[in-house]
Every structure is written in C-alpha cells, then in structure tokens.
A and B are shown apart, each in its own frame.
Chain A
Amino acid sequence: MPATQQKWLTASADRLSIVTLDALTAVYDRASGQTHLLAQPLPEILAALQSGPANAAQIAARLTADFDIADSADVPARVSECLGELLAMGLVSMR
C-alpha cells in the first residue's frame, strides 16, 4: 500500500488519559508510563482517529471539516509529519 494510503489508528481510548491544560494538552500513556505534552494539531489528530482508522488525507479531511484551519499550510503533509511524531511516542500505530 502506498505510504499516503497507510492507515493509522490511535492507541485505544482506555490506554490514554488526556487532559487539556492550555494551548498544550497533557497525555498519560498507561502502557508506557510516559507523560507527553502535545501542541496543536496533535491532540486533534488523536481525537480525529477516535472515530476509526484513517490515512493522512482522511484525517486532514476530518480536521478541515471540524475546524477552521488558521495557517493554510499543506494540511495532509503536516498531518503526515505529525503522525510520525505520534508514532515515535507510541500514541498511534499503523494498521
């Protein structure tokens, strides 16, 4: 499957404790015992994956539907990049 079609899924809801602090969101991963602080759009990507696995383009579409994107960057590309960060932290995995 081409990379752009790669489907992602988030860690199951009962694995993460998510608390919004201010512009940053704190996340506790029960599996690893680690705490992460996430800035936009990472928490929103995790939330977008709650409704089911998706590839980067689909996640970007969910975000664009739910939010006004303030900095009109290449959203799918930025989403791919952010998924890499989330993957490195173990908060998402590939289907």
Chain B
Amino acid sequence: MRFMILAKRNFQEVWLDPLSIGLVIGLPVGLLLMFQPIGKLNPFFATTNLAPGLAVYAFTMLTFSSGMILARDRESALLSRLLNAPLRANDFISAYSLPYIPVAIIQIALVFGVGRLLGLEISGNAGLVFLIIFVMSIGYIGLGMILGSLLTSKQVPLVWTAVNILTIFGGAWVPLEALGGAFQSAMKALPFAHTIDAARAVMVHGVGFSDIAVDLYWVIGYTLVFFTVGTFLFRRRMVE
C-alpha cells in the first residue's frame, strides 16, 4: 500500500493550495447561494433543479486540480523522481486518481447539504442520484489524467476552460433546451448533459432506474473511455 503515501500527498496538494480549495469547494457552493434568489423567479434555477448541475460543474475543478498536479509534477521532475521509486504502474495510477474520489464525495455532500438547507428535496431514489453523479466524477478525474499527461501546466487551464464551458452548456447552469438545434444535439453526444438530466429527473420527477438507464450507460461509457485513455497516456509517460 505504498501508493497511499503518494495518494495522501496528492490529496494534501488540493487542500493546501488556496486557489484549488476555492475552486473545488467555494465555487459550487457560492454558485448555489448566488442562484437561490433567481430560483424564486425561474424554476430552472430552483435549488432542487440546479443542485445536480452544480455538483457536476464542481467536478470540472477535479479535472483542473488532477490535471495541474500531474502536469506540475512532470514539469518539476518530481514525477521522474517518483517514477524512480519502487512503485508499479498501478500504484501511480491509483495515487494520481484515488485522492480525488473523497474530494468528489465532499463536493457532492456540500452541494446537496447546503442545497438541503436552501430547500432541496429528492422525490426519487437518492442513491440513484448519487450513483450517476459519482460515476461522472470519476470521468472528470480521468479527463484530468489525460490533460496532466499530455499538457503543460500553462496549457491545462486552456483545455480545462473548454471542458468547463461544455459542462456549463451541457445544462449545469444554463438550460440545455434554451440552446436548441445542433448545439443541443452536440451536447447530448457528451456525458455531462446525460448526468445532469438523469439526476434532475430522479430528484424532481422521482423517476426510477429504468428511466435513466440509457443516460447512465452513456456516463459509464464515457467514464471508461476517459479513464482508460488517461491510464494509457500516464503509463506511456512512465517508461519511454
């Protein structure tokens, strides 16, 4: 379990960087509070409807943190020092991905916890909401591994901005229907809108598993692709 030592350090990197903690925790909760008065005027921004989108939006910060930490470690040669240690490929992949899972759980708990204080209600199965959102969080961590393995710490924020925009327009806090046409179709080809729509359907309309199964498969499929590609690219970095 030597990888846990490195995983602990990566976990610490998120919590010791004020910018990182502000983005990971502060931003989604801040947005939830900011949209609360608007929610009284427009049902799209009502806390129950908005919370799944903001939880998914919060995961873009996981992509940012995981991508930046990996890119910085590559640039500073810390990664090559670590690669020289007697750890196996799976140890490294675990150490650069697992620490973000508790961060994702904390994000989900905070968004839904603060949401609850603001009147959030879940009509359907809360476990189903957690499942689909949680699977998506792993996809975002995989995306971070892809960015961190391929890009420099200056390039990561640029590509992350694109991920961020796609998540926002995937329905996180912009109604997807308002975009319409080809853009809406394009967003439906990505996993973000599927996650948000499915979680909303369970929370607001109380639908069951069979109604969101297709969405869940989309999310699982994309998560597997992101994670597999991220793992492949990371392994390629290990021994040239």
Bound together: no
Please give the residue numbers on chain B whose beta carbons come within 8 Å of chain A beta carbons, in ascending order: none
Please give the residue numbers on chain A whose beta carbons come within 8 Å of chain B beta carbons, in ascending order: none
